[in-house]
């Protein structure tokens, strides 16, 4: 090793250093003989992933069985093993169940809507002329490209009770269409979980449908036109064509999109943190509940760890489904 | 809307056939069939384009509203009858944000631009280099646990930031890296890796092995083969992974929020925008101006790389 470092500084005209028998050459032979090349190439990336993604997960699992909080981080008291205490505290806290319910209901509503909107736009893009198709997909791309923080702040402004455009427009619509609520000055963010998550669902779908549409469009392009045309000539309506031909052929893509959307929508933090903000407990989702327990006052990393572990396990179930679907799609070939 | 439009499709499907083999029928019927086929086709095209236009405009509206609000003076912003375009456009909101002379502001926006740029570019460079090396390993070598590793990466990619943030916070606290950009760069690079390795692996796998073998027979060294053959061919893939790493770092919220805390001089753009958004009596003009300045560069960037992006994302999504 020392020799090879010196060889970099040696004059170029000394050929022996890079010839057979030099340290460099010996190292090369060693790597080849032991088939080390792939491991050396992988090492930097894997070390990074292990230190920043895997080790913290293990730590979180450890914290979940400890009473790790303010007293422990300041060194006043030592950390102690507390068994399943953090878990039983969690499971007996009604706020936990409320936030879990909010997360689950949000995903149950937002995911199908997102897939529906994405499908409609995807099918439309497939049929539009070139110019119009570029226009629509560019608009969608811009919505998708908007950073979540910008989008959340922007939707908060649009749905704001003071000067927000949504309340203004709703207040001017006929009652038979928008109900008899007094929409002027209606507060979407704090009136309750249904209102807050309606707003967040519109925001999330606005940002996510382009991905669904473009991914489906790529799938639609692989379906031979003769197939759908033949069905149409045989008298099948568009709904039948979609249900009997398009959907079955795109099923694997739909499965991946479904699982990805479930993971993303179950995960949302940025949007809910900005729109709901900490302190509004009855509107928390699981992510916000975890964050508040861990970093709120008093901070409890043990309780947060237990919650993070529960959260990761729920997501693991969906992720395993996603991985299986991806592999069936030929991801590993 | 879709209902009528789709029925139109069905009609054309059946009525378009007669004119093509219309010679058999009487001349009159053929003409009327042709006319009705054309009307139906036109109606269909109009309704399709109308729907497309509607979707595009609804999708663009929030972005338009952000920019429009940013150019409005405050009496127009809080007016009881909001107008689409500012009646008296002003750059006052931008002035406030750029000079830092804004209520609740913590300095000119360029400071936070600089922070975001430093974090984002470093993440792109680190993630690209590390994932290029790793992707060559998984695409070009057979070794033990290769498949296991690929599956593991797919799973790791899905671990949410919220699950890790507690441990990351405590680890980086003990490393004294909390209020610094370096801490963010390390975390973002690692977070981007599982996806970027997969994306690049798919690119490397499509390059025919024979190219490298032929070069090797001609006596080219491994480095030469890499730089002269593999690298140029995998460059489009690197663009795709760079875009992914770019979005990861430029948009990231929860880690920056937790790590940066009160270290205002290290704030990245998303934290800066939410910081003065959260300052009670929200001044929507400057907030929208700041959001616009944060959003527009990334939109321009996306419009430039549009074509590559679509292909790369689809490859990343559908293939894993």
Token pair, residue B227, equals: 């730089």
Question: How confident is the model at residue A333, as a pLDDT?
Answer: 65
Q: Which residues of chain B neighbour A257 with C-beta distances below 8 Å?
A: 317
Q: Is the pLDDT of residue A3 over 50?
A: no
**Are A199 and A188 contacting, i.e. CB atoms less than 8 angstroms apart?**
yes
Token pair, residue A12, equals: 């170029």
| SS3 of residue A233 by DSSP | helix
Once rounded to an integer, what is the mean pLDDT over residues A110-120?
Answer: 97
Q: Mean pLDDT over all residues of chain A?
A: 88
Q: Chain A: residue nearest B301 by CA?
A: A145
Q: How confident is the model at residue A1 (pLDDT cuts 50, 70, 90)?
A: very low
Interface test mutation site (partner B, options A107, A123, A138, A153, max chain B beta carbons within 10 A): A153
Q: How confident is the model at residue B282 (pLDDT cuts 50, 70, 90)?
A: low
Task: Calculate Rg over the CA atoms of chain A.
Answer: 28
Task: Calculate Rg over the CA atoms of chain B.
Answer: 27
Which CATH class name applies to A94-329?
mainly alpha
Q: A310: how many CB neighbours lie within 10 A of its CB? A: 19
Residue among A44, A136, A260 whose CB faces B52 most closely: A136
**Are A318 and A266 contacting, i.e. CB atoms less than 8 angstroms apart?**
yes
**Residue entry with tokens 């008291």:** A77
A123-155 pLDDT, tens digit per residue, is: 999 989 889 999 999 999 999 999 999 999 999
| SS3 of residue A66 by DSSP | strand
Roughly what angle, to the nearest 10 degrees, separates helices A247-267 and A301-328?
170
Once rounded to an integer, what is the mean pLDDT over residues A203-221?
Answer: 93
Question: How confident is the model at residue B317, as a pLDDT?
Answer: 42
Question: How confident is the model at residue B276, as a pLDDT?
Answer: 76
| A225 or B91, greater pLDDT | B91
Question: How confident is the model at residue A20, as a pLDDT?
Answer: 58
Q: Which residues of chain B neighbour A59 with C-beta distances below 8 Å?
A: 167, 170-171
Question: How confident is the model at residue B4, as a pLDDT?
Answer: 35
Q: How far apart are CA A8 and CA A173, in angstroms?
A: 77
Q: Mean pLDDT over all residues of chain B?
A: 83
Q: What are phi and psi of A300, to 5 degrees?
A: -135, 100
Show me where the domains of chain A are located.
18-50, 94-329
Q: Which residues of chain A neighbour B226 with C-beta distances below 8 Å?
A: none
Token pair, residue A152, equals: 């959340």
ipTM: 0.86
Contact B295/A147, CB-based, under 8 Å?
A: yes
Contact A214/B134, CB-based, under 8 Å?
A: no
């Amino acid at each position: 090793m020392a020799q090879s470092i010196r060889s970099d500084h040696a004059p170029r005209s000394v050929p022996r250093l890079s010839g057979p028998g030099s340290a460099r050459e010996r190292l090369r032979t060693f790597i080849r003989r032991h088939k080390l090349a792939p491991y050396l190439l992988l090492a930097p990336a894997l070390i990074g992933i292990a230190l920043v993604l895997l080790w913290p997960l293990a730590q979180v699992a450890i914290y979940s069985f400890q009473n790790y909080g303010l007293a422990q981080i300041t060194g006043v008291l030592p950390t102690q093993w507390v068994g399943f205490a953090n878990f039983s505290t969690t499971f007996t806290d009604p706020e936990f169940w409320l936030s879990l319910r909010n997360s689950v209901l949000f995903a149950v509503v937002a995911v199908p809507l997102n897939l529906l909107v994405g499908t409609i736009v995807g099918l439309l893009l497939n049929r539009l002329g070139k110019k119009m198709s570029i226009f629509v997909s560019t608009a969608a791309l811009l919505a998708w490209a908007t950073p979540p923080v910008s989008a959340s702040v922007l939707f908060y402004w649009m749905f704001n009770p003071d000067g927000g455009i949504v309340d203004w427009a709703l207040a001017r619509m006929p009652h038979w269409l928008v109900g008899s609520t007094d929409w002027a000055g209606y507060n979407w963010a704090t009136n309750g979980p249904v209102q807050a998550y309606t707003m967040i669902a519109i925001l999330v779908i606005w940002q996510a449908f382009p991905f669904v549409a473009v991914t489906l469009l790529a799938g639609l392009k692989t379906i031979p036109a003769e197939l759908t045309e033949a069905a149409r000539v045989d008298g099948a309506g568009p709904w039948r064509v979609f249900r009997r031909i398009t959907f079955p052929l795109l099923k694997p893509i739909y499965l991946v999109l479904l699982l990805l959307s479930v993971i993303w929508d179950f995960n949302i933090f940025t949007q809910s943190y900005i729109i709901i903000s900490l302190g509004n407990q009855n509107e928390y989702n699981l992510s916000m509940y975890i964050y508040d327990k861990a970093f709120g006052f008093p901070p409890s990393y043990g309780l947060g760890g237990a919650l993070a572990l529960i959260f990761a396990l729920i997501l693991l179930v969906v992720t395993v489904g996603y991985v299986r679907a991806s592999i069936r799609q030929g991801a590993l070939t | 809307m879709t209902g009528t439009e789709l029925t139109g499709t069905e009609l054309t499907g059946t009525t378009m056939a007669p004119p093509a083999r219309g010679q058999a029928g009487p001349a009159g019927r053929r003409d009327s069939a042709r006319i009705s086929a054309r009307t139906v086709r036109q109606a269909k095209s109009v309704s399709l384009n109308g729907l497309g236009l509607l979707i595009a405009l609804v999708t663009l509206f929030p972005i338009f509203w952000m920019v429009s609000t940013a150019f409005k003076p405050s009496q127009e912003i809080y007016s009881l009858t909001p107008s689409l375009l500012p009646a008296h456009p002003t750059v006052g909101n931008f002035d406030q944000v750029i000079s830092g002379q804004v209520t609740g502001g913590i300095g000119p926006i360029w400071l936070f631009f600089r922070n975001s740029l430093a974090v984002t570019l470093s993440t792109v460079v680190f993630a690209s280099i590390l994932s290029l090396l790793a992707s060559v390993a998984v695409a070009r070598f057979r070794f033990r646990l290769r498949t296991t590793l690929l599956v593991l990466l797919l799973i790791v990619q899905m671990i949410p930031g919220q699950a890790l943030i507690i441990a990351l916070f405590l680890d980086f606290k003990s490393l004294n890296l909390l209020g610094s950009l370096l801490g963010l760069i390390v975390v973002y690079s690692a977070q981007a890796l599982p996806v970027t390795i997969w994306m690049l692996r798919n690119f490397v796998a499509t390059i025919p092995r024979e190219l490298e073998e032929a070069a090797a027979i001609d006596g080219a060294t491994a480095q030469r083969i890499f730089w002269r053959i593999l690298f140029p061919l995998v460059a489009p893939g690197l663009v795709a992974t760079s875009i992914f790493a770019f979005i990861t770092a430029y948009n990231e919220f929860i880690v920056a929020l937790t790590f940066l805390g009160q270290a205002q001089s290290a704030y990245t753009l998303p934290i800066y925008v939410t910081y003065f958004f959260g300052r009670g009596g929200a001044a929507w003009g400057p907030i929208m101006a700041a959001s616009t300045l944060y959003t527009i560069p990334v939109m321009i960037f996306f419009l430039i790389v549009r074509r590559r992006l679509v292909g790369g994302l689809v490859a990343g999504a559908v293939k894993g």
